[in-house]
Amino acid sequence: MKLQLQEIDCVSTISKEAFIKNYFKPQKPLIVTKGITHWPAFKKWNLDYMKEIAGDKMVPLYDDRPVDYKDGFNEPHATMKMSEYVDLLKTAPTKYRVFLWNILKEVPVLQKDFTFPDFGLRLMKSLPMLFFGGTDSYTFMHYDIDLANIFHFHFEGKKKVILFNQSQNKWLYKIPFSLITREDINFTNPDFKKWPALLKAKGFTGGLEHGSMLYIPEGYWHYMQYITPGFSMSLRAIARNPKNLGKAIYNIFIMRTIDNLMRSIKGQKWIDWKNRQAIVRTKKQQ
Size of the chain in residues:
286
DSSP letters spanning the chain: ---EEEEPEEES---HHHHIIIIITTT--EEESSTTTTSHHHHH-SHHHHHHHHTTSEEEEE-SPPP-TTPPTT--SEEEEHHHHHHHHHHS----EEEEEEHHHH-GGGGGG-----SSS-B-TT--EEEEE-TT-BPPSB--TT--EEEEEEESS-EEEEEE-GGGGGGTTBPTTSSBB-TT--TTS--TTT-GGGGG-EEEEEEE-TT-EEEE-TT-EEEEEESSSEEEEEEEE---SHHHHHHHHHIIIIIHHHHHHHHHHHTHHHHHHHHHHHHHHHHHH-
Instruction: Give the list of residues 6+ apart from residue 26 with CB closer than 8 angstroms, or none.
Output: none
Rounded to whole angstroms, what are the CA distances from 38 to 13, 34, 42, 117, 133? 12, 9, 7, 11, 25
* pLDDT(171) > 90: yes
Whole-model pTM: value is 0.95
pLDDT the model gives residue 285: 86
pLDDT the model gives residue 72: 61
**Residue 74 — very low, low, confident or very high, per pLDDT cuts 50/70/90?**
low
* pLDDT single digits (tens) 180-201: 999 999 999 999 999 999 999 9
Average confidence (pLDDT) over 113-127: 94
* pLDDT single digits (tens) 203-251: 999 999 999 999 999 999 999 999 999 999 999 999 999 999 999 999 9
Average confidence (pLDDT) over 22-48: 98
* pLDDT single digits (tens) 36-72: 999 999 999 999 999 999 999 999 999 887 767 676 6
Instruction: Give the list of residues 6+ apart from residue 111 with CB closer than 8 angstroms, or none.
Output: 103, 104, 128
Average confidence (pLDDT) over 129-136: 94
Looking at the structure of the chain, the number of domains it has is: 1
* pLDDT(110) > 60: yes
Q: What is the CATH number of the domain that holds 87?
A: 2.60.120.650
pLDDT the model gives residue 103: 82
pLDDT the model gives residue 255: 97
User: Which residues constitute the domain of residue 196?
Assistant: 4-285
pLDDT the model gives residue 73: 56
Phi, psi for residue 74 in degrees, rounded to 5: 60, 30
Mean pLDDT over the full length of the chain: 94
